[in-house]
Amino acid sequence: MAKETISITDNRTGKTYELPVEQGCIRAMDLRQIKTGADDFGLMTYDPAFLNTANCKSAITFIDGDKGILEYRGYPIEQLAEKSSYLEVAYLVMHGELPTKAQYDDFVHRITVHTFVHENVKGFMDGFRYDAHPMSMLASTVAALSGFYPEAKNVKDKATRRIQMIRLLAKMPTLAAFSYRHSQGLPYIYPDNDLSYCANFLNMMKRIGESKYKVNPVLERALDVLFILHADHEQNCSTTATRAVGSSEVDPYSAVTAGVTALYGPLHGGANEAVLRMLREIGSMKNVPEFIKRVKNGEGTKLMGFGHRVYKSYDPRAKVIKRTADEVFEVTGKNPLLEIALELERIALQDDYFMQRKLYPNVDFYSGLIYEAMGFPVDMFPVLFAIPRTVGWVSQWEEMITDNEQKIARPRQIYTGQTRRDYIPVEKRA
């Protein structure tokens, strides 16, 4: 039986070391014994952007990038998108199992009764100019919640953790809708407990004068599916930020704020916003070849919505989203930018530049088209990503807090600066 170890020979000393292999990994700390002498700190790994580094063990989401597989707690994303609902998936991601009817009803009730935010939170929102980006307003007001729930600092107590997690799940749509209403100069619409999670969000976003906002069931279901697809995605940039900040044992509102701000970036949650801007910049089908040429020549632009750090084959979420897009466009009418998107996809999927780099459409390539067809402004797109990803952030945060192997995140570095030198008085400086 082959030993689950590797042997490393240090050619600087001729010494050989045998390191255990655990689940396809070696422990970086096992490298520290490899030294050239007593004063040698020992070997470290250098891995900018963590391209090949596991920073945790997680049981929440499994991705196989080469096979295009995505599973939450073992359930394939395709089955969950077809058969489940966002709140049922949120329960699954948080608790590890699909809920019984009683568990589901209790979970929905607990979310529903926590959708309101303290009236003072509106003051934070009102402090922004009307044209502030809603992600800036969302990040600020999520951080502000930390001040309204001081007991949330008690991160080691399960009951305290869980009520904060419920509050974050419940209040994110409210804060998101408030940020939109503020940017539109519209009055805030309070949560309506008679509505579903997605219908309530649409109500808070769209209701103007009618006493009861009529939610189109096709759009409500489409949003529910999009939320399912965005619930978690293992150690993506924003989850890594949430885990790292949370490792200082700060409250979960502050940790999730790090996730929101990371998601704001155009290479992460801002990608579907960038896709729409790209499609608008292209403008018409006849401009597609020229645009593709500019991307291939590296003229400062990427094909937004394409490529993924992990998926080196088709993003399984993109397949589901394409079906959802057709259902939405049946109701809203075809988005004229869709033709340009489909032409970009057709060319990219047969062009060597993209195929060699394994660049396929990711979840963001189509989600932006759907959101625009549903009448959301482009700068709300990353906000629409933050709402469902909240359950991933809080679940990964709790997994980190309860993992006995985890400590405060504090990576090492390779120092490339000046060697020691003495202070020079200003009169002697060149």
- Annotated catalytic residues are 268, 308, 364
Pairing of strands 61-64, 15-20: unpaired
Other C-beta atoms lying within 10 Å of the C-beta of residue 407: 8
**Cβ closer to ligand SDX: 179 or 242?**
242
| Max CA separation in the chain (angstroms) | 80
How would you label 178-193 residue by residue, b for 16+ Cβ within 10 Å and e otherwise? Answer: bbbbbbeeeebbbbbe
The terminus-to-terminus CA distance of the chain in angstroms comes to 68
Binding site for ligand SDX (CB under 6 A): 233, 236-237, 267-268, 271, 295, 302-309, 357, 359, 362-364
**Cβ closer to ligand SDX: 117 or 340?**
340
Euclidean distance between CA atoms 363 and 347, whole angstroms: 18
**Cβ closer to ligand SDX: 252 or 305?**
305
* Cβ–Cβ < 8 Å for 317, 226: no
**Bridge partner residues of 75 (DSSP):** 72
Report which residue type is found at 265: G
Q: How far is the CB of 316 from ligand SDX (least distance, A)?
A: 11
Question: For residue 223, what are the CA distances in angstroms to 9, 138, 304, 384?
Answer: 55, 19, 22, 9
Q: How far is the CB of 325 from ligand SDX (least distance, A)?
A: 17
CB-nearest residue to ligand SDX: 307
Q: How far is the CB of 308 from ligand SDX (least distance, A)?
A: 5
**Cβ closer to ligand SDX: 99 or 270?**
270
Q: Where are the alpha helices (DSSP H) in 247-315?
A: 252-263, 271-282, 288-296
**Cβ closer to ligand SDX: 170 or 359?**
359
**Would you state the structure tokens that stand for residue 58, as one six-digit string?**
């997680």
Instruction: Give the burial class of 22: count Cβ atoms within 10 A of its Cβ; 0-12 exposed, 13-18 middle, 19 or more buried.
Output: exposed
The three-class DSSP label of residue 76 is strand
**Bridge partner residues of 22 (DSSP):** 25
Q: How far is the CB of 86 from ligand SDX (least distance, A)?
A: 15
**Cβ closer to ligand SDX: 84 or 236?**
236
Q: How far is the CB of 6 from ligand SDX (least distance, A)?
A: 26
Q: How far is the CB of 304 from ligand SDX (least distance, A)?
A: 5
